[in-house]
Amino acid sequence: MDKKVLSKEGLIKLKEELDYLQNTKRPQVSERIKLAKEFGDLSENAEYQEAKDEQAFVEGRILELEHLIKTSIVADDNQTNDVVNIGSEVVLDREGQVMRLTIVGSTEAEPASGRISLESPFGKALLGRKVGDEVEIKLPTSQVKCKILEIH
């Protein structure tokens, strides 16, 4: 399986979510199951079934997070702002429109917030580029030209 790349911030968020699920959510769900059992016949107990479903989701997410944390590679924070790397904030001129994008690992991507995956067309095209570079980005339905204005 491919190793995922995370920023230091992304790793911290995953660890916080794992801590929350293990130490807060898991006990809450266990308590819900315990209370639902007291209602009697489990075969017709919707509250019990919902709690069991939630427990399965929480346990699955815990396993997923533990695996991600164990197997992921954390991007180097000691990078220069000379070239676009994971964790870089890039200011682009996209055909007259200024855009700010942050290059992150695929598990941290939130395109609506400007956090794009290094595996996305924009991420792939920008990695390793410098200020002043003009980049052609091949999207599924078109091509876009951008110029890198700043790297932070």
pLDDT at 80 over 70: no
Displacement of CA 104 from its chain's centroid (Å): 8
Question: Minimum mean pLDDT among 14-18, 30-34, 37-41, 69-73: which range?
Answer: 37-41
- pLDDT surpasses 80 at 135: yes
pLDDT at 79 over 70: no
Q: Say if strands 89-94 and 97-104 run parallel, antiparallel, or are unpaired.
A: antiparallel
Question: pLDDT (tens digit, 9 = 90+) per residue, 82-125?
Answer: 899 888 999 999 989 999 999 998 888 999 999 999 999 999 99
Task: Using alpha carbons only, give the angle 14, 64, 88 rounded to the nearest 5 degrees.
Answer: 40
- Model confidence, pTM: 0.71
* Domains detected in the chain: 5-74 (1.10.287.180), 89-151 (3.10.50.30)
Residue 104, Cβ density class (10 Å: 0-12 exposed, 13-18 middle, ≥19 buried): buried
pLDDT, mean over the chain: 90
Please give the Cα distance from 32 to 127 (Å, whole number): 47
